Structure 1
Amino acid sequence: MKILTRTIELLLLSAMLACLLISLAGCGSSSHEKKVGIVVPLENKALDEIVAGFTETLRKTSSVPVKFKIANAQGDMNVQRAIIQQMRDEKYDIIAPIGTVATQMSAALIQQQPIISLAANFSQQDRLQRKTCNIAVVHDEISPRQTIAFIHEVYPQLTQLTLVHSASDKIFPEVKAAVEAGKEMGINIQPVMVPTLNELYSVANALPQNTQGILVLKDILIASGISTLEIAAQKHHIPLITADQGSVQDGAAFALGVHEREIGVEGAKLAAAVLSGQPVCSLPIVDMKRLTVFMNTAALAKENQSPAAIQAAAKKLNYKIEME
């Protein structure tokens, strides 16, 4: 019995030594494995789709093994800052923030590691102004004028529109552009700011009595509370119009936007190029140009809205239509 026990001990010791030697050569966590951190501002379906498209595609296309860390800031700027700093300090090979605000924060905190920005408004001029150009971007912003023009095509008689938006710095120029476009098309657009998600309920229950529709631009905070606005839209029998596929899946009536998963796919292509040794700043800014009209027929019915006008406008402007 003692001989058997001793034999087992020797075998275990040999296995441990072998594993140690192999680990020094890259066993367990491969020395060639690259760490990619994804910064998610908060939870919503559109961002989940971006993450899925990015991770699935990069796993398939990367020339080296990739380990992902997906960190959700839950809408807290302090948490988001801590996440970015941790990824920077732990020497992640790529950091991928989602959205303009997360991208701007990453750009301010990270000067060396490559940043692959997903779904952000970050221009070539912004890149060139940096001391070290370490950012590649998938740009998915739709011009407010394009959005308002589509709404005007759908509802040519509409004159009063409520634009619900967050307090994000990036959204204010877009709100201004939307208001100006509305004036040119005979639409009075009333902006209503929601500083925090907790205040969205109060705003939704205090809409102007004469409003004929609710509009949400590409605004991560407001999109995460879209179900609250949809209840108000149903109550007033007015359309809830957004700018992303995920919010339509969550209850908005319709949106002119892009496939969120495709944003992740395009970002993964940039990341794969960086991991294969291509300088990040040599990569072009990718614009998502294939616009689609997403429609939620159940939501339209609850709002007493006909899908026919939306379909006719999409056809006239050569937009693809998808039912969610």
Structure 2
Amino acid sequence: MKRIVPLVLTALLLAALPPSPTFARTFSVSVSQFVEHPALDAVLAGFQDALKEQGVDVEYSVHNAQANMGTANQIAQTIAGERPDLVLAIATPSAQTCAQIIKKAPHMADVPLIFAAVTDPQGSGLVPDLETPGANITGVSDLTPVDKHLGLMLEIQPDLKTLGVVYNSGEANSKTLVRLLREACKAKGVALEEATASKTGDVYQSTKSLAGRADAVYVPTDNTVVSALESMVKVCQQYQMPLYAADVGSVPRGAVAALGFDYYLHGKQAGDMAQRILVGGAKPATTPVEFQDGLTLHLNLPAAKAQGVALPDDLKAKADKIIR
């Protein structure tokens, strides 16, 4: 009996302990990020923090294409060779290349692909339906409300007649946003002047081509253009054209104002989705594409002064963040 009692006590103590988490394993996540800039960097940080906060142990293999489509394709092939538990593709070009490679690699057929910072998942060919994406692809879209962005510009510049926009016509997300911008401008009676840049080195000249043709310049969530934002700021200061951005991360870099998403929270939303798939057993095919809610207004007072525009006091009063 003396030998049995300790065994019984041990069994009772073990039974009283909380159960071990079912995800007590290390997952591998391969990341394809199209370019390095604050918004996309914030997406990755938010994604990683979301999984860490939920106790999911992850080993990451992070790849950055530096805005080069050829490199993005090579990265997708490398990821196929890594055979991860999950793929995170940040920005539309990276999501498209990863999706194409995964479809061609039989051993990747069951590997979930989560995209983030993708404007138009359907238009870019990633998913056929937002509610039931099908296959192994789903994610979080950053479709921006360009009509509200135009409203903000008109609040700052009521006499705005012509708006300039710089974008990469090779990015599917940018083409969607500019199409929406055309519609918004037409509805408000604002003329739109377009300038394209196929690589970051073209952004300076494309912005300069708008001088004398536009009263202000808008940069959408275009990965190529946002990467070269500082060159746009120089032009806009020189020619006194206020520069407005779609993402708040561009405001401390010299944009006058932005009404946009917090891309760190965007990444956390994608991380929560990854947790449900990796740990909870959710299937990408039946996990609806999500959209981020909640816009924040950021203003840059020194940039406004340098670019020749005054920000209304009532706008400053409702701003979430002001750079002074």
TM-score (norm 2): 0.82
> By how many angstroms is 1:221 displaced?
0.7
> By how many angstroms is 1:243 displaced?
0.4
Distance across 2 between alignment mates of 1:108 and 1:310 = 48
Which of 247, 270, 275 is equivalent to 2:273? 270
> By how many angstroms is 1:184 displaced?
1.8
Distance across 2 between alignment mates of 1:206 and 1:132 = 43
Partner SS, residue 193 of structure 2: strand
Partner SS, residue 230 of structure 2: helix
Aligned to 1:75: 67
Distance across 1 between alignment mates of 2:271 and 2:213 = 45
1:196 equivalent in alignment to 2:199 = yes
Q: Could you tell me which runs of 5 or more consecutive residues in structure 2 were left unpaired when the two chains were aligned.
A: 1-23, 104-108
Moved more, 246-255 or 300-309: 300-309
Partner SS, residue 118 of structure 1: strand
Aligned to 2:127: 127
1:282 equivalent in alignment to 2:281 = no
Aligned to 1:54: 47
- Aligned residue type for 1:194: A
Distance across 1 between alignment mates of 2:140 and 2:55 = 18
Partner SS, residue 138 of structure 2: strand
Moved more, 118-127 or 152-161: 118-127
Aligned to 1:150: 152
Aligned to 1:165: 167
Distance across 1 between alignment mates of 2:277 and 2:163 = 44
Aligned pair in 2 of structure 1 residues 103, 62: CA closer, same or farther (>3 Å)?
farther
> By how many angstroms is 1:123 displaced?
4.1
Kept in 2, the 8 Å contact 1:154–1:309? The answer is no
Distance across 1 between alignment mates of 2:46 and 2:314 = 28
- Structure 1 stretches of 4+ with a deviation exceeding 3 A read 123-126, 128-132
Aligned pair in 2 of structure 1 residues 75, 247: CA closer, same or farther (>3 Å)?
same
Tell me the matched-pair count: 289
Aligned to 2:315: 311
Kept in 2, the 8 Å contact 1:95–1:114? The answer is yes
Structure 1, residues 131-181: CA drift from partner, whole Å, max 9, x if none?
952112111111332322332233221101111111223322321221232
Partner SS, residue 127 of structure 1: coil
Which of 118, 132, 140 is equivalent to 2:116? 118
Aligned pair in 2 of structure 1 residues 180, 232: CA closer, same or farther (>3 Å)?
same
Partner SS, residue 85 of structure 1: helix
> By how many angstroms is 1:62 displaced?
4.4
> By how many angstroms is 1:288 displaced?
0.8
Kept in 1, the 8 Å contact 2:91–2:116? The answer is yes
- Aligned residue type for 1:225: A
Which of 299, 303, 313 is equivalent to 1:299? 303
Distance across 1 between alignment mates of 2:269 and 2:133 = 26
Which of 90, 114, 131 is equivalent to 1:98? 90
Partner SS, residue 153 of structure 1: helix
Partner SS, residue 170 of structure 1: helix
Kept in 1, the 8 Å contact 2:36–2:227? The answer is yes
Aligned to 2:10: none
Aligned to 1:15: none
Distance across 2 between alignment mates of 1:299 and 1:196 = 25
Moved more, 302-311 or 257-266: 302-311
Moved more, 178-187 or 142-151: 142-151
Q: CA RMSD for the aligned pairs? A: 2.4
Aligned pair in 2 of structure 1 residues 131, 239: CA closer, same or farther (>3 Å)?
closer
Kept in 2, the 8 Å contact 1:248–1:295? The answer is yes
Aligned pair in 2 of structure 1 residues 321, 100: CA closer, same or farther (>3 Å)?
same
Aligned pair in 2 of structure 1 residues 171, 117: CA closer, same or farther (>3 Å)?
same
Aligned pair in 2 of structure 1 residues 91, 228: CA closer, same or farther (>3 Å)?
same
Distance across 1 between alignment mates of 2:273 and 2:260 = 21
1:43 equivalent in alignment to 2:36 = yes
> By how many angstroms is 1:188 displaced?
0.6
Kept in 2, the 8 Å contact 1:227–1:252? The answer is no
Distance across 2 between alignment mates of 1:231 and 1:62 = 45
- Aligned residue type for 2:67: G
Structure 1, residues 265-287: CA drift from partner, whole Å, max 9, x if none?
10110111111122223323221
Distance across 2 between alignment mates of 1:256 and 1:67 = 34
Kept in 1, the 8 Å contact 2:259–2:295? The answer is yes
